[in-house]
Structure 1
């Protein structure tokens, strides 16, 4: 347990990681400020000292994961011309599926005040699925300039199809459903195979 009055490095990330562990282990009903700070090994009131309640905390957790994923996706255009288009798109899709915890998104959707905060932040320009889609589109346009996909390829629609499908899989994947990674791989194969020059 961290002693009182001692600064904790990377406190936000420590609390965010703890919340994800609580969600994974015990589900949304167990997500309380006390459970989060206990999991993080922090003083009980620490979460409320840095966030305006649990709704703001969960919103910030969701937004931080969106931002992290968007940053990772932003590096995709640099991969143009390397490996194959299929490999690069598959890697991007799988990264999206694993870096955005469905439990975090799920608990965000079920808390009206949290959802509103996230929606307002995204509308105000915070990075989210739109930024990820833009990065994938920029990658595809770069591959188009290199001649690795056809000039006729509608890169915007391909990016939308990929990100939209991953978004759907994140919202609907739970125990007993089809493996979302396999579904994402099949979609990439379909999108790339639709363009004979997409290898």
Structure 2
């Protein structure tokens, strides 16, 4: 445990990672300020020194994970022409699904103050689903120019379907529910095929490129 008065580097990330471990191990009911700081190995007051309370902490955790995925999605257009269209899309969709995880996102939805803070932040332009959708559209446009997506395909509609369905699975999942990843893989394979993506048949079912 960090001694009193000694600054901890990356304290927010340390607390966020600790919260994710508590949720994965014990579920939403176990997530308290004390459980988080104990898991992080720091003093009990550290969380409240950086956040107004647990609601703000939960909302900021979700926003942080969404922002990380949005930054990764910005790099998607650079992958145009490499791998398969379905595989590249699936990597981003699964990263978005894992960005907060159904348990964390569901927890935010059950805490009105956290949910309100999250919604206001996204409405104000915080990176989230819209940013990922825009990045996917740019990527598909790039693949279209390379001839790997059909010239008549509606790239914005494909991006909306991919992100919208992933958003639905994320927000309606719960701890212990069936893993939605196979549903995401099936959807992306279908969308890639409908968009006339080269080599799309079955291309979302194997190993997928990691989104760092």
For the criterion TM > 0.5, the same-fold answer is yes
Residues 85-96 of structure 1 mapped to structure 2, 5 A cutoff: 85-96=85-96
Any idea what the Cα deviations from partners look like across 1:19-56, whole Å, max 9, x if unmatched? 11111111112111111101100001111111111111
Displacement of 1:175 in angstroms is 5.9
Any idea what the Cα deviations from partners look like across 1:146-176, whole Å, max 9, x if unmatched? 1111111000100000011111121233466
Counterpart in 1 of 2:22? Answer: 22
| Equivalent residues of 1:86, 1:198 under 8 A apart | no
Any idea what the Cα deviations from partners look like across 1:89-138, whole Å, max 9, x if unmatched? 12222222223321110111011011111111111110010001111111
Counterpart in 1 of 2:134? Answer: 134
> What CA distance in whole angstroms lies between the structure 2 residues aligned with 1:80 and 1:182?
24
Displacement of 1:177 in angstroms is 4.6
Any idea what the Cα deviations from partners look like across 1:60-112, whole Å, max 9, x if unmatched? 11110110111111111110011111221122222222233211101110110
Counterpart in 2 of 1:52? Answer: 52
> What CA distance in whole angstroms lies between the structure 2 residues aligned with 1:4 and 1:20?
24
TM-score (norm 1): 0.94
TM-score (norm 2): 0.89
Counterpart in 1 of 2:204? Answer: none
**Runs of 4 or more above 6 Å deviation:** none
CA RMSD of aligned residues (A): 1.4
Residues 26-105 of structure 1 mapped to structure 2, 5 A cutoff: 26-105=26-105
Where in structure 2 are there 5+ consecutive unaligned residues? Answer: 200-212
Any idea what the Cα deviations from partners look like across 1:176-196, whole Å, max 9, x if unmatched? 654311111111111122233
1:157 and 2:157 aligned: yes
> What CA distance in whole angstroms lies between the structure 1 residues aligned with 2:38 and 2:178?
34
> What CA distance in whole angstroms lies between the structure 1 residues aligned with 2:108 and 2:174?
16
